[in-house]
Chain A
Amino acid sequence: MNALDQAKQYWYPVGMLDSIPTYPDVRQTRLLGMAINLSRKQDGKIIVTHKSENWLVKEAYDHLWTSPSQTPKQLFDVPEADEKDRRFVPCGVVRVRCSPLRAVENFLDIAHFPFVHTDILGSEPHTEVAPYSVDIDDDKDEVIATKVKFFQPQAAKSASDGIITDYVYRVPSPMNAILYKTCPSRDDVQDVIAIFVQPIDEETCDVWPWMALYDDDSTMAEMIEFQQLIFLQDRSVLENQVPTKLPLDPKMEIPTRADLTSIAYRRWLKRRGALYGALLNPTEKPSGASNSVAAE
Chain B
Amino acid sequence: MTNVAIGLSQNLPNGRVMRAIVHEQDLVVWRSKSGVLSAWDNRCPHRGMRLSHGFVRGEALACVYHGWHYDKKATCRYIPAHPELEPPETIKAQQFRSMEKGGLIWVNIDDSSVEPSIDENLTPLRSISLSCPKKNVQTVIRSNDFSMFNGEQINCEIAEQNKEHWVINFKTPEASLHLFFQELPNHSCTIHTMLDGEHSAQTKKHMSHVLENLRRMAEKQYEVAAS
Contacts and interface: CB of A to CB of B under 8 A. Distances in A.
Contact of B94 (A109, A114, A254, A290): A290
A293 interface: yes
Contacts of B49: 237, 240-242
B82 A114 contact: no
Interface stretch (A54-62, A124-132, A180-188, A207-215): A124-132
Contacts of A258: 66, 79, 81-82
A114 B24 CA distance: 32
B183 interface: no
Categorize the interface residue count of chain B. 20 to 34
A254 B66 CA distance: 13
A82 B48 CA distance: 39
A294 B90 CA distance: 8
Main secondary structure of the interface of B (DSSP, over half): loop
A237 B92 contact: no
Given A242-B43, A254-B46, A116 B90 contact: no
Nearest to B80: A127
B67 A115 contact: yes
Nearest to B90: A293
B190 interface: no
Contact of A254 (B67, B82, B85, B91): B91
B65 A237 contact: yes
Given A129-B81, A291-B41, A293-B90, A242 B50 contact: yes
B77 interface: no
A289 B82 CA distance: 28
Contacts of B82: 128-129, 256-258
* Main SS at interface, chain A: loop
B83 A116 contact: no
B173 interface: no
B47 interface: yes
Interface in B9-48: 23-26, 41-43, 45-48
B66 A112 contact: yes
A217 interface: no
Contacts of B24: 288
Contact of A112 (B42, B65, B91, B93): B65
B88 interface: yes
A241 B42 CA distance: 10
Contacts of A252: 48
B101 interface: no
Contacts of B67: 114-115, 124, 127
B72 interface: no
A287 interface: yes
B81 A116 contact: no
A199 interface: no
A277 interface: no
A124 B55 CA distance: 14
A247 interface: yes
A254 B49 CA distance: 12
Interface residues of A, number: 33
Interface in A246-262: 247, 252-258
Contacts of A257: 81-82
Select the residue from B42, B43, B47, B64 with max chain A CB neighbours within 10 A: B47
Contacts of B94: 289-292
B64 A241 contact: no
Interface centre among B43, B66, B79 (most CB of A within 10 A): B66
A287 B81 contact: no
Contacts of A127: 67, 80-81, 83
A253 B47 contact: yes
A242 B66 contact: no
Contacts of A109: 66
A287 B83 CA distance: 30
Contacts of A116: 64-65
A282 to B, nearest CB: 12
Contacts of B85: 256
Nearest to A247: B48
B53 interface: yes
B47 to A, nearest CB: 6
Interface of B: 23-26, 41-43, 45-50, 53, 64-67, 79-83, 85, 88, 90-94
The 6 A-B pairs of least Cβ separation, nearest first, read A127-B80, A258-B81, A289-B41, A111-B81, A129-B81, A240-B50
24 contacts: A111-B80, A114-B80, A115-B64, A115-B67, A116-B64, A116-B65, A127-B80, A127-B83, A128-B83, A129-B81, A129-B82, A237-B49, A241-B49, A241-B50, A242-B50, A247-B48, A253-B45, A256-B79, A256-B82, A287-B42, A289-B25, A289-B26, A289-B41, A291-B43
